[in-house]
Amino acid sequence: MADLEIRDLHVRTEDREILRGVDLDINRGEIHALMGPNGSGKSTLANTLLGHPSYEITAGSIEFKGEDITEAEPHERAKAGLFLAFQYPVSIPGVSVANFLRMAINAKREQPIQVKEFRQQLQHAIELLDVDRSFTSRPLNDGFSGGEKKRAEILQMAMLAPDVAILDETDSGLDIDALRTVAEGVQRLHDEQGLGALIITHYQRILHYVKPEFVHILMDGRIVLEGGVELVERLEREGYDQIRQEVGATAGATGDDGV
């Protein structure tokens, strides 16, 4: 049994069905890539896994570490060891990065973390993510550049040490230096802490720095193709259109409202 098991997941928003039967297994220590064109349902899957209230699960289930979390509150999923790095991180004015991290860490614990231990962890994460010390005293994401926001996401991930992290287009909008830092951070958390990751991306760029063992391609709300890292290379050569034609012919997918 996998750590994160997604079975026949159907999800809709107010106006339409977006996921139409997704199956996915992710374990600690595994790096997965989920790729797909715009509008295929990637972000919907990410948000649904953490329990965003705007997405309604109409069928299927999500199990995490043997528990059914299909209906769980977002904070319960987080406490269980899931993490979502947001595509568009939200600014939290008035709360410093360090204070927010302390709150998030303490939310997971019985006893508040000792100051010394917290400082050590923070120092380690700062070095990992190559950010300035002053970064942690700034209000979270407030006035941050795009690259700073994504670094702050990975910094939080490093501190919260989840079992499985979903990275929702963490690579988009990053220059190559920031991309490399972020990607190497993910790779090291995988190597050092046994992080399991689902890297959601529209592009292939980030996958030059983080090597996924499993690649899934999402189209029109279904996973239409799965394989190893060779799938990334094929996608680079052929593009989504070619793959769509192929799977459309074999699987009979209509792709009526897809992009």
Partner 1 sequence: MSEPGGETVGNGRTPVQVKAGRHREATLYHALAGAGAGDGRSLAELRTAARIAFESLDLPVWRRSGFWSTSLQDLDLDALDADSPHDGVPEVVTRTLPDRPRAGRIVQSAGAVVALELDPQLAEEGVILCSLEDAFREHEELVSRWYSKRLTLDRHKLEAANAAFWTGGCFLYVPQGLVIEDPFEIVYAIARPGVAQYGRTLVVGAPTSEFRVHEYDLAEDFDAAEEGVRQALHAGAFELYLQDGARCRLAQVQDWGSGEVYDVSTRLVAVGRDAHCHWLPALVGGHLVRQHLELAVTEAGGDMAFRGLFFAEAHEHLDVFAVDLQETGPSGGDVHWRGAATGESRASFEGLIQIDPGAQKTHTYLQIHSMMLSPKARIDAIPSVLVSADDVSASHGGTVGELDETGIFYMQSRGLDRAAAVRVIVEGFFEPIVHELQDEPLQEVVRRKVAAKLAAAREDIEAYATSR
22 CB burial (10 A radius; 0-12, 13-18, 19+):
buried
* Contact pattern from residue 23 through residue 62 relative to partner 1, giving x for each residue in contact according to CB under 8 A and a dash for the rest: ---------------------------xxxx---------
Whole-number Å distance between alpha carbons of 212 and 220? 22
For residue 112, what is the DSSP state?
A: P
Q: How many CA atoms lie within 13 A of 79 on its CB side?
A: 13
Site track for partner 1 across 166-195, x = CB under 8 A = ------------------------------
Per-residue DSSP letter, 50 = T
Axis-axis angle for helices 115-129, 97-107 (nearest 10): 120
Measured from the CB atom, the residue of 66 and 93 that comes closer to partner 1 is: 93
By CB under 8 A, what part of segment 218-257 binds partner 1? none
Q: Is residue 83 involved in binding partner 1 (CB under 8 A)? A: yes
Nearer to partner 1, 79 or 202 (CB): 79
**Considering the rule CB under 8 A, would residue 144 count as an interface residue with partner 1?**
no
Contact with partner 1 (CB under 8 A) among 1, 90, 115, 176: 90
Q: Considering only residues 91-120, where is the footprint of partner 1 by CB under 8 A?
A: 91-95, 100, 103-104, 107-108
What is the total count of residues that contact partner 1 (CB under 8 A)?
Answer: 28
Rounded CA gap, 98 and 136, in Å? Answer: 5
- Sign of the Cα pseudo-torsion (98, 103, 106, 112, in order): positive
Residues engaged in binding partner 1 (CB under 8 A): 50-53, 73-75, 77-79, 83-84, 86, 89-95, 100, 103-104, 107-108, 139, 156, 160
